[in-house]
Structure 1
Amino acid sequence: MKYLIMVYGNPRSRAVWDSFTDEQRAAGMAEHLALGEAMTAAGELVLSERLADPSTGTRIPAQPAALAALGLPTDGPFAESKEHLAGFYLVDCPSEERAREWAAKIPESVLGLVEVRPVWTGD
């Protein structure tokens, strides 16, 4: 079964990262690289990417007429959270427990910034 392990960031976690020395940043990235290598060696890593800062993204504005037709509110287009998706690991594991084991090894997990969610299969 496939699970998406999402790594989140927020202004506070970004400020902590920005305060690190070059050596501390390199060590943090080395942890992610080693984790990816371990997932690959286990045959469970499908894909992993770090995302660019959210300020570089473009959110597609909602079409008011379409929202009105569906009876949905039109006060957007923005996310209602300060947190943003910073990166992800897509793993194919035999169980959610195994995906959680991988997620617990992500450095950001100690800050509560990691989420594991099954990939919907349509079943």
Structure 2
Amino acid sequence: MKYLCLVYLDNEHWSACPDEKCAVYAQGLLDSGHMLAAEPLHPVHTATTVRVRNGQLSVTDGPFAETKEMLAGFYLIDARDLNEAIQLASKIPPAQHGSIEVRPVRALDLPTAAAT
């Protein structure tokens, strides 16, 4: 099953974990067959939030919500169950400085094609 591990850090700890340490962990996930994708994000001040309400586009600089911890990056992993996903997420290096949200990925619920 696929799980998205969202890495959250506050401003104070944004750069606390060196890229090399994260790259080593990511390589281990790749070597073990658990890694599907991973990317760090630029700091939150570079974010742009897009909304469409009543057909009107609204573009705002910055994140959607003001929070203490901001989304810093993600790991998309393949794990047999939530317990394994939590174990893998607990070893993501920035977990020592912020938090990791583990969320199962779901497939789109699309109607099946009618038999012809």
TM-score by length of 1: 0.71
Q: Distance in 2 between the 1:112 and 1:86 partners?
A: 10
SS in 2 for 1:8: strand
Q: For residues 21-59 of structure 1, give each alpha carbon's deviation from its aligned partner in whole angstroms, at most 9, with x where no partner exists.
A: xxxx6xx22221111111111111000000111111211
Q: Say if 2:3 is the partner of 1:3.
A: yes
Pairing 1:44–2:34 present? yes
Q: What amino acid is aligned across from residue 42 of structure 1 in structure 2? A: S
Deviation at 1:95, TM superposition (A): 1.3
Higher relative contact order (CA 8 A, sep 6+): 1
CA shift, 1:108, in A, is 2.0
Using the TM superposition, give the Cα deviation of residue 107 of structure 1 relative to its aligned residue in structure 2, in angstroms: 1.9
What's the C-alpha RMSD, in Å, of the aligned pairs? 2.2
Q: Is the 8 A contact 2:7 2:98 kept in 1?
A: no
Q: Which letter does structure 2 place at the counterpart of 1:99?
A: A
- AA paired with 2:95? S
Structure with the higher strand share, 1 or 2 = 2
What secondary structure, in the 3-state scheme, does the structure 2 residue paired with 1:60 have?
strand
Runs of 4+ in 1 over 3 A off after TM superposition: none
Give the structure 1 partner of residue 60 of structure 2.
none
Q: TM-score, normalised by structure 2?
A: 0.74
Confirm or deny: 8 A CA contact 2:2 2:77 kept in the other structure: yes
The number of residues matched between the two structures is 102
- Give the gaps of 5 or more residues in structure 2: 56-62, 110-116
- Work out the CA distance in 2 between the residues paired with 1:85 and 1:104: 17
For 2:113, the equivalent position in structure 1 comes to none
- Alignment partner, residue 69 of structure 1: none
Runs of 5+ unmatched residues, structure 1: 67-76
2:92 maps to 1:106: yes
Normalized per residue, which structure has more helix?
1
Q: Any residues of structure 2 matched to 1:7-18 within 5 Å, and which?
A: 7-14=7-14, 17=15
